Amino acid sequence: MSALIWLRSDLRADWHSPLNYAIEQHDSVTAVYIVTPQQWRHYGLAQAKTDLILARLAELKKRLKDRNVYLNIVKEPDYTSSVKRIAIECQKHNINNVYVNAEYEWDERQRDKALKLALQDQGIQCGVFHDTCLVRPDAIFNQQNKPYKVFTPYFKAWLAELERQNMTPLSANSQASQTQTLDEEVELDSLSDWYWSRRDSKRWPACDKGLTEKARAFVSERAADYASNRDIPIKEGTSELSPYLSIGAISPARLYHQLSIEARQSLEQRNGGEYEWLRELAWRDFYRYVMFHFPHVCKHRCFQSQYDEFPWETDKKAFEAWCEGRTGYPVVDAAMRCLNQTGWMHNRLRMIVSSFLCKHLRLPWRWGEDYFMSRLIDGDFASNNGGWQWSASVGTDAAPYFRIFNPTTQGERYDKQGRFIRSWVPELESVPDKHLHQPSAWQGFSDVDYPAPIVDHKATVAETKRRFQDFLASH
Ligand SMILES: Cc1cc2nc3c(=O)[nH]c(=O)nc-3n(C[C@H](O)[C@H](O)[C@H](O)COP(=O)(O)OP(=O)(O)OC[C@H]3O[C@@H](n4cnc5c(N)ncnc54)[C@H](O)[C@@H]3O)c2cc1C
């Protein structure tokens, strides 16, 4: 009996239920990854992210070989042709079962429905596993048996479910007896020349060794201080594991398992840095949960549907200034330049710049969402969409519209000495520390080659609140 594992956003050879199950149940186990350039372009995936995927695939080939599973890397334009390709390969290679890890985005769910149907026609079973989240989205509901819409009660139920699951590690030692190669495999090296796969993910190790060490170092050495360090961009206060979680190079179950061994007390007492960090993994699950139960958020719509009609501005020049880091607000500009050059932005900065786009410039949150996706190495539909809808006050559990970050005081608070700003905005070199967060107020500003604030904070915040109030009054 032969099995095929279709890998998508689960690019690992350990903590992988479909893989373990297939090895246990089948004589022959083969893996496939389908590179889908058209689909990637349609989603506007960042070059840094696609580069990380390709680097990871090279590593994964070796790790799967250790388990005697051949990873075939093939190319198809999009999801529709991918489904057809899987069905054809199954027929050609006498595959009896296909196994996948579920993905919860709308398009991906439609793809998998089509897959099941296509395989059914050929008498092939499709087994779906749920390793992407710690708690699968259909596992918890409120007392009315409805999906949660607010994080805090969701988190309570999520924790209870997590404890109930009593997670045990999945062995990564078992090996398949046989494996197969499919036709028309593509060479990874030939893919790296595509325009969207510039080699700029080097800062992020794609090998298991580097990744394991990164996760270990955070959980053992830094997670305890997470609560106090997590908001300071210049510190190594967060795990920086999101790029790996987004492509599934590391499993959330493995991180939880590590935490539950090394930080048992913090988890049991429900306080401390490690517990706070677990809460962030719950946010990751929560945004997948929202997407699963309220799929309209996958269709460019607000969770709170009334805001679909909110009259956002359309000033393209202001948007360009935001994208390029030329708003005249140092912390916003430093963050955007960091994103543009590295594909990475710290969470506190994501909150500041997204609030600035939606509440200071009153530009559509979807513009920001798309721009982030096109730049972020950890671009992840659910977390990105959830983060943007939160900032725009249109999502589930969103920040209320009148809570608007002041970019100057945020900078003063979270980049006190201005080290982050100075490393990304060299034009401000001559500005004294005292004026760094508001350089236009310095008397020597006219000699500095840096823009004056694109909008006046006080005036624009007042206008935003008025617009939201008027909008809500009329809806
Ligand atoms: C506007 C906006 C856009 C965002 N876009 C993305 C995105 O495309 N991809 C992405 O992974 N995260 C996104 N986030 C969430 C968050 O900023 C990142 O997950 C975090 O900065 C990653 O850094 P880390 O791995 O060091 O996180 P840590 O603080 O170490 O947290 C551990 C993990 O928990 C998850 N997590 C942490 N915070 C959040 C959160 N607020 N929402 C959901 N999951 C979270 C991530 O998987 C993260 O790796 C966005 C947030 C905002 C405000």
Q: On the CB side of 360, how many CA atoms lie within 13 Å of its CA?
A: 26
Answer with the one of 293, 316, 351 that is the final residue of a domain: 293
- Please report whether residue 190 resides in a domain: no
Closest ligand 1 atom number to CA of residue 378: 9
The answer as to whether 187 is a domain residue is no
For tokens 């061994």, the residue is 261
pLDDT, position 187: 79
Residue 300 domain-assigned (yes or no): no
456 annotated to a ligand binding site? no
Residue 188 lies in a domain: no
Say yes or no: 79 and 144 in one domain: no
385 CA to centre of ligand 1 in angstroms: 11
Using CA atoms of 378, 379, 380, 382 in order, give the dihedral in degrees to the nearest 10.
130
Q: Measured in angstroms, how far is the CA atom of residue 450 from the centroid of ligand 1? A: 30
Task: Please report the pLDDT score of residue 183 as a whole number.
Answer: 79
464 belongs to a structural domain: yes
The CATH number that applies at residue 244 is 1.25.40.80
Q: Mapping DSSP to helix (H, G, I), strand (E, B) and coil, where does residue 185 land?
A: coil
Q: Does any domain span residue 258?
A: yes
Q: How many CB atoms lie within 10 A of CB 187?
A: 8
Task: Please tell me whether residues 107 and 241 are part of one structural domain.
Answer: no
Known binding residue 277? Answer is: yes
Q: 196, 347, 406, 412: which is the annotated catalytic residue? A: 347
CATH number at residue 47: 3.40.50.620
Do 75 and 122 reside in the same domain of the chain?
A: yes
Residues present in the chain in total: 475
* CA dist., res. 6 & res. 83, Å (int): 10
* The total number of structural domains that make up the chain: 3
Whole-number Å distance, alpha carbon 266 to ligand 1 midpoint, is: 21
Q: Per the annotation, does 281 bind a ligand? A: yes
C-alpha 101 – ligand 1 centre gap (Å): 21
CATH of the domain at 411: 1.10.579.10
Last residue of a domain, one of 132, 148, 175: 132
Work out which ligand 1 atom sits closest to the CA atom of 239: 30
Examine the fold and report which residue of 293, 317, 336 is the final residue of a domain before the chain moves on: 293
* Residue among 40, 367, 388, 424 flagged as catalytic: 388
Pocket test of ligand 1: the residue of 216, 347, 397 to mutate, having most ligand atoms within 8 Å of its CB, is: 347
Please tell me whether residues 144 and 272 are part of one structural domain. Answer: yes
Same domain, 57 and 96: yes
Task: Please state, in angstroms and as integers, the Cα–Cα distance from residue 147 to each residue in 204, 290, 291, following that order.
Answer: 36, 8, 11
Tens-level pLDDT at each residue, the chain (475 residues): 899 999 999 999 999 999 999 999 999 999 999 999 889 989 999 989 999 999 999 999 999 999 999 999 999 999 999 999 999 999 999 999 999 999 999 999 999 999 999 999 999 999 999 999 999 999 999 999 999 999 999 999 999 999 999 788 888 889 999 999 987 788 777 776 555 555 577 789 999 999 999 999 999 999 999 999 999 999 999 999 999 999 999 999 999 999 999 999 999 999 999 999 999 999 999 999 999 999 999 999 999 999 999 999 999 999 999 999 999 999 999 999 999 999 999 999 999 999 999 999 999 999 999 999 999 999 999 999 999 999 999 999 777 899 899 999 999 999 999 999 999 999 999 999 999 999 999 999 999 999 999 999 999 999 999 999 999 999 8
Compute φ and ψ for 249, nearest 5 degrees: -70, -25
Minimal-distance CA residue to ligand 1 atom 49: 242
177 belongs to a structural domain:
no
Q: Which pairing describes strands 28-35 and 125-129: parallel, antiparallel, or unpaired? A: unpaired
Q: Let me know: does 450 contact 427? Beta carbons within 8 Å.
A: yes
Take residue 57 and report the two structure tokens written for it.
Answer: 């695939």
Q: Which atom of ligand 1 is nearest to the CA of 351?
A: 53
pTM of model > 0.85: yes
Contacts of 386 (CB under 8 A, 6+ apart): 283, 286, 287, 290, 291, 395, 396
Beta-sheet pairing, 28-35 with 2-7: parallel
Same domain? For 150 and 126 the reply is no
For residue 217, the model assigns a pLDDT of: 96
CA dihedral in degrees (216, 220, 225, 230; nearest 10)?
Answer: 10
Task: Tell whether 99 and 159 lie within a shared domain.
Answer: no
Query: Which ligand 1 atom lies nearest to the CA of residue 373?
Result: 8
262: which 2 tokens? 């090394």
Same domain? 319 vs 442: yes
Report how far ligand 1's centroid is from the alpha carbon of 383 (Å): 7
Distance (Å) from CA 422 to ligand 1 centroid: 24
| Closest protein CA for atom 8 of ligand 1 | 379
Same domain, 361 and 420: yes
Of 449, 453, 14, 471, the closest CA to residue 207 belongs to: 14
State whether residue 303 is helix, strand or coil: coil
Tell me if 202 is assigned to some domain: no
Q: Is 365 in the active site?
A: yes
Co-location of 30 and 120 in the same domain: yes
**Domain housing 370:** 305-474
Catalytic residue flag (residue 347): yes
Residues 428, 358 share a domain: yes
Residues with CB under 6 A from ligand 1: 230, 238-242, 245-246, 280-281, 283-284, 287, 347, 350-351, 354, 372, 376, 378-380, 383-384, 386-388, 391
349 with 467, same domain: the answer is: yes
Residue 54, helix vs strand vs coil: helix
